[in-house]
Structures are given as structure tokens and as C-alpha cells.
Amino acid sequence: MILVFGRTGQLARALARAAPAAVCLDRAAADLAHPEACAAAIAAHRPAAVINAAAYTAVDRAEAEEAQAHRVNADAPAAMARACAGLGVPFVHLSTDYVFGGAGGRPIAPDAPTGPLSAYGRSKLAGERGVRAAGGVHAILRTSWVFSAHGRNFVTTVLRLSEARDALRIVDDQIGGPTPAADLAAACLSVAQRLQDAPALSGTYHYAGRPEVSRKGFAEAIVARSGRKVRVEGIPSAAYPTAAARPLDARLDCSRTEAALGLARPDWRAGLDAVLRELGIGPAREAQRW
């Protein structure tokens, strides 16, 4: 049995859909603000593998709640990783492009120097370190720009705003790889399986959708493929101040993931069309811009 921390988030929902036999724990069953409760849950369920799909993901709010973000994103995964190491079962943990500064001008390799710009990024980086320090069989999957039909994400936000406005102002100087939650879930399950057979594959991997795109380009694709009529205008990040700074160039180099794990990068356009179908929005037949 696979044990999943998280039940209502984007990734957790996609995991539950892809692996109906998985046991998914919500906050009432295991609150990541109490790391010892997470370790106890692992001991109680004695799973074959553990995937941590829960996290403190309120990037801007984390600036004012760094201690809480650290507990959830660093202390809890470290406790989970130690519990997994004790049982000898693989632990799959999710991390983020926000552990990087994003000024490199080229896709970022997994062993590139980190340099988070935000409290959220620092908390996720500390989580990575805690997971590695536990010394067990593990994979840290860094991903970016996750979207699905559920919750607040870039796709659902653009769709919501496009109903109410004539024009959207979207930053055009941030680039990255949008990642469908469904593909990310499949990747997590695949990695969990591979680690059971080949623990030496333990390590840090990048998994993000392709092709790389600016936030504005992503918004344009959402508008076009959903048949909305709203205009998309580009603005610099400097014109859209947020509490937390974001990396401008968050392209993740995923070649190690492809070579070592056989996981190809998902095409986010296909994932976007699937999300639009799930939401009953369409048709996604506008002229392909790529």
C-alpha cells in the first residue's frame, strides 16, 4: 500500500485518482504542523512507500509565517523521511523551482547551486536537506507551475479572471515549465515503484512540463484553448509586486530524470486540454500557436 500525505491538494487528488488503493491522509489524520504525528502515521500504516503531497504552499503568506512554513515544509518531511528510513521503505518528496534564484539564463540542473528568494523557497530547501539527511531511500522531485482542474492555480485563476475582465495583465518576464498534476502524480507513482526495486536511484530530480513558456504565453494558451475572448497584455514582474519574490528563469533541466528514471517531460498543452475538458470548457481547438 502507498501512503500519501495530503488528500485535497492538486497532487494528492491526482494521486488518489491514479492509485485508488493508496491511503491519502488529510490534515485531520496527519497535521504536518506536528511532525511527530506524521512519523506516527507511517509507523501505524506500515506502507510499501510514502509520497508527501502536502505542503505549506501559500507562497506570499509564508513571508509573514516563516516558522509555520518551516515546520510544515521542512520539519515534517524530515520526520517522514526518518520514519521511512527506519522501515526501509522509499519516500517520495516534492520540492520546487523556488529553491533557485532563477537568474542563470539556462535550464537549471538538479545539482546546481540553490538560492531561494522567498521564505517558501527557504522552507522547501530545508525540507530537501532534512529528507537527504535521514539517509533512507528517497526521491526529491522538484517541479514547477503545477496546475489541475482543482483549487487555485494559474489555469483556474486565468479562467476565473477571463470571465470578469476584458483584458488580463500577466507578467511576461517569468519563464518556466507548467506541469499538469496528473502527469506529476504518475511520475511520483513510477518513482516510488522504481525505488522499491532500485534504491540506488535515490536522489534529487527535476520534473516539469514542456515546452518552456512565459507566464503571459501560458495565459494566452489558456485563453485560446478555452475559447475565451479576453485580451492578454504583458507586464514586467516589477509592475506586479508580490510579498514573495519569484525566480524569473525557473526552467528546470529534466534530462537526468529522463535518463535515470525513464520519465519524459509531459507536454503541458495536452494536460491543459484535459483540464479544460474536465471543467467542461472548450473547445480547445483554437489554432495551435506552437
Candidate list 22, 56, 69, 183; residue touching ligand NAI; CB under 6 A: 56
Active-site pick, 98, 120, 205, 207: 120
**182: closest CA among 102, 255, 274?**
274
Inter-axis angle of helices 10-18 and 181-197, nearest 10: 60
**Cβ contacts of residue 226 below 8 Å, gap of 6+?**
159, 162, 276, 281, 282, 284
Q: Cell numbers 510514502 correspond to what residue? A: 50
Contact between 39 and ligand NAI per CB under 6 A: no
Q: How many CB atoms lie within 10 A of CB 188?
A: 28
Minimum separation from the CB atom of position 250 to ligand NAI (A) = 9
Question: Which residues are paired to 240 by β-bridges?
Answer: none
Q: How many CB atoms lie within 10 A of CB 287?
A: 5
Contact between 8 and ligand NAI per CB under 6 A: yes
Residues 146-175 that bind ligand NAI (CB under 6 A): 146, 151
Q: Which stretch binds ligand NAI (CB under 6 A): 48-56, 106-114, 189-197, 261-269?
A: 48-56
Contact between 143 and ligand NAI per CB under 6 A: yes
Concerning whether 120 is annotated as a catalytic residue, the answer is yes
Contact between 27 and ligand NAI per CB under 6 A: yes
Contact between 22 and ligand NAI per CB under 6 A: no
Contact between 204 and ligand NAI per CB under 6 A: no
b/e burial code for range 133-155 (CB count within 10 A of at least 16 → b): ebebbbbbbbbbbbbbbbeebbb
Distance CA 171, CA 233 (A): 8
Q: Cell numbers 526552467 correspond to what residue? A: 251
Contact pattern for ligand NAI over residues 121 through 140, marking x by CB under 6 A: ---x----------------
Q: Which is nearer to ligand NAI, 78 or 286 (CB)?
A: 78
Contact between 187 and ligand NAI per CB under 6 A: no
Residue 6: what are its φ and ψ, rounded to 5°? 110, 145
Residue 114: all three cell numbers together: 540553490
Residues 76-95 that bind ligand NAI (CB under 6 A): 94
How many residues touch ligand NAI under the rule CB under 6 A: the total is: 24
Contact between 250 and ligand NAI per CB under 6 A: no
Residue 112: all three cell numbers together: 546546481
Residues that bind ligand NAI (CB under 6 A): 6, 8-12, 27, 31-33, 53-57, 72, 94, 96, 124, 143-146, 151
Q: List residues with catalytic annotation.
A: 120
